[in-house]
Amino acid sequence: MIRVTSTAWLGLSAALIALVLTLGVEDARAQVPTAGTFASTPVYSASGQASAVFRGGTIDQLEAAARGANAGGLWAQSSNGAFQLLIVDGPAFLRAPFTAQFPTGFSTSTAVTLVVAKAAVPPGGEPRAIALRSLGGKTWSQPTEMGAYPQSAGDGTTFVLEQAGTVWAVPNGTATTILDLRDRVALSSEEGLLSMALDPGFATNRHVWVYYSAASPRRSVLARFTRNANELTINRDSALVVLEVPQPFSNHNGGAIRFGPDGMLYLGLGDGGSGGDPNGNGQNLGTLLGKIIRIDVRAASAAQPYLVPGDNPFVGTAGARGEIYAYGFRNPWRMAFDPASGALWAGDVGQGAAEEIDLVQRGGNYGWNITEGDRCYRPSSGCSRAGLMAPVAAYDHSNGRCSVTGGFVYRGTLVPEIAGAYVYADYCSGEVWAIRADAPGTPVTIATGAKQITSFGIDANGELYVLSQGQPIRQIVRP
């Protein structure tokens, strides 16, 4: 569960719109009682639990209440990460997106209480130390991604990617191969099967999106696959290749697929590789390399793989690719949206001196190869930073540090020590840091010694996991 902020209302609004469409009624709002007030105010317990009750009211009134409630949250979150509303007075029913139905006899005269319990520590506290608990079972060779992979609401199954080209499902702790792309994936130190994301409509269309490296010619591939009906396995023959980006070198492939609160697909691409960005891709708006792109794949087909959203920042700019959302990245290795605020966080791997964490904004220029982290790169001093976005956090390569691994903003419930914090790590040193998402300040070291962290994973409840080469997956827990 996550704490609601004013910007988090956008997620609820989208869920309600989807719900109205799914119900197929002419006016779902008319079926909600017309008078609404808060019956209680949020009260936090020592563990960070909080709840509030909204009695009656139209959806419009609920929206207004949501915008004004900054002290306790305004909606519950289902186990698969979708928003849900729980009605407990009158004809009780669970109104879950994509599956809800109004009960017989429900009308505007029905007395309704909307329970809007949330679990989170209020913002303001600095992150504190955590522990890592091994899940045991399979030892992963080169894991690159982990996420929820539900068969039904409340299912705790996850998926895990291995860089060599296999996708695994982990129901009840037992790992099973569900997609094998090793014959299509080119593997090197930075090439391979790098990311996977479930489509926003996965519960009904069963679509999954993957990003991988391919050879002859060397390129990065974004493709859509479909999970087999009533099975965990993914149909490898269902591939729809949506985008292929030529790669001049084998390194700096970036590679995180994320769907934003707007339903668009975001993909991080490295600068093309070698060292120092020899082709100047980071600052070149005419190439997708060194960029985070944003595309519309909701109606993807062989004839029209994707659309360029008309509100992308460089649509209509001469010489610029319309797909670009932000630019000036060297190798954005892992990025993620904060489910509460909608903010996009990214870890960008540095050249040889500095690593950085960025809050990605529409149209932002993040500096590479003019800057590296918080310092000049070309020229090595006195560079112009005009128009460049400064990183939220940066660190040097002292103490054996070498490469940042971006993570997630923690909005789970089990580890209040890092509630509302963005968590990331260094691959070589094994240090894990957290920085407050609401008011980024100085990062706090929350763990050490967990070397070769390649990625972070997140489950359906927002709980965080650490993925390391040659290790079992480890869950972040209370110390």
Quick one: what percent of the chain has pLDDT higher than 90? 70
pLDDT band at 37 (very low <50, low <70, confident <90, very high): very low
Rounded distance, CA 195 to CA 114, Å? 38
Nearest to 457 by CA among 406, 403, 414: 406
Mean pLDDT of 370-376: 98
The pLDDT of residue 136: 85
Asked if residue 100 has pLDDT above 60, the reply is no
What is the structure's pLDDT at 182?
98
pLDDT of residue 23: 28
Token pair 């910007």 is found at 7
Q: What is the pLDDT of residue 419?
A: 93
pLDDT at 371: 98
**Helices 59-68 and 9-23 sit at what angle, rounded to 10 degrees?**
170
Query: Residue 136 is encoded by which pair of tokens?
Result: 């045991």
Residue range 28-51: mean pLDDT, rounded: 34
3-state secondary structure of 456: strand
Confidence of residue 173 (pLDDT cuts 50, 70, 90): confident
- The pLDDT assigned to 62 comes to 44
What is the amino acid identity at position 9?
A: W
Which amino acid would we find at residue 148? A
State mean pLDDT over 327-335.
98
* Structural domains of the chain ordered from first start: 9-119 (no CATH), 131-477 (2.120.10.30)
Can you read off the two tokens belonging to residue 39?
């019956």
Phi, psi of 451 (to 5 degrees): -70, 165
Per-residue burial over 131-142, b if 16 or more Cβ lie within 10 Å, else e, is: ebeeeeeeebeb
Q: What is the mean pLDDT of residues 64-93?
A: 33
| Separation between Cα atoms, residue 118 and residue 72, nearest integer Å | 7
Give the span between the Cα atoms of 407 and 456, in whole angstroms.
Answer: 5
For residues 271-294, average pLDDT:
98
Q: What is the rounded CA–CA span in Å between residue 377 and residue 370?
A: 5
- pLDDT per position as a tens digit, 432-471: 999 999 989 999 999 999 989 999 999 999 999 999 999 9
- For residue range 212-238, list pLDDT tens digits in order: 999 999 999 999 999 999 999 999 999
Identify which of 271, 405, 431 has the alpha carbon closest to the alpha carbon of residue 333: 405
Question: What confidence category does residue 388 fall into, taking pLDDT thresholds of 50, 70 and 90?
Answer: very high
Q: What is the C-alpha to C-alpha distance for residues 370 and 91, in angstroms, rounded to an integer?
A: 62
Q: Tell me the average pLDDT across 66-82.
A: 33
Which is nearest to 314 in space by CA: 322, 302, 326? 322
pLDDT of residue 26: 26
Q: Look at 160 and 107; give whichever has higher pLDDT.
A: 160
Q: What pLDDT is attached to residue 86?
A: 33
Residue 200: pLDDT band by 50, 70, 90 thresholds?
very high
pLDDT at 52: 38
pLDDT, average across residues 323-344: 96
**The residue type at 271:** D
What is the predicted pLDDT for the residue at 368? 98
**DSSP helix/strand/coil, 53:** strand
Query: Would you say residue 6 has pLDDT above 80?
Result: no
Mean local confidence (pLDDT), 416-421: 94
- Here the tokens at position 81 are 């990460």
- Number of residues assigned to the chain: 479
C-alpha span between 186 and 164 (Å, rounded): 8
The span from the first CA to the last CA of the chain, in angstroms, equals 21
* Parallel/antiparallel/unpaired status of strands 207-214 and 193-198: antiparallel
User: Mean pLDDT, the chain, as a whole number?
Assistant: 80
Count of C-beta atoms within a 10 Å radius of residue 437: 24
Q: What is the mean pLDDT of residues 394-405?
A: 97
Mean pLDDT, to the nearest integer, of 10-28? Answer: 31
Exposure string (b/e) for 254-276, b if CB count within 10 Å is 16 or more?
bbbbbbebeebbbbbbbbbbeee
CA 190 to CA 251: how far, in whole Å?
5
Greater model confidence, 43 or 293: 293
Q: Which residue has the higher pLDDT, 14 or 143?
A: 143
Rounded to 5°, the CA angle 181-187-188 comes to: 165
Please give the DSSP secondary-structure letter assigned to residue 389.
P
- Give the H or E element holding residue 18: helix 9-23
Confidence of residue 375 (pLDDT cuts 50, 70, 90): very high
Name the residue with higher pLDDT: 21 or 338.
Answer: 338
Average pLDDT over residues 329-341: 95
The pLDDT-based confidence of 105 (bands split at 50, 70, 90) is very low
Identity of residue 277: D
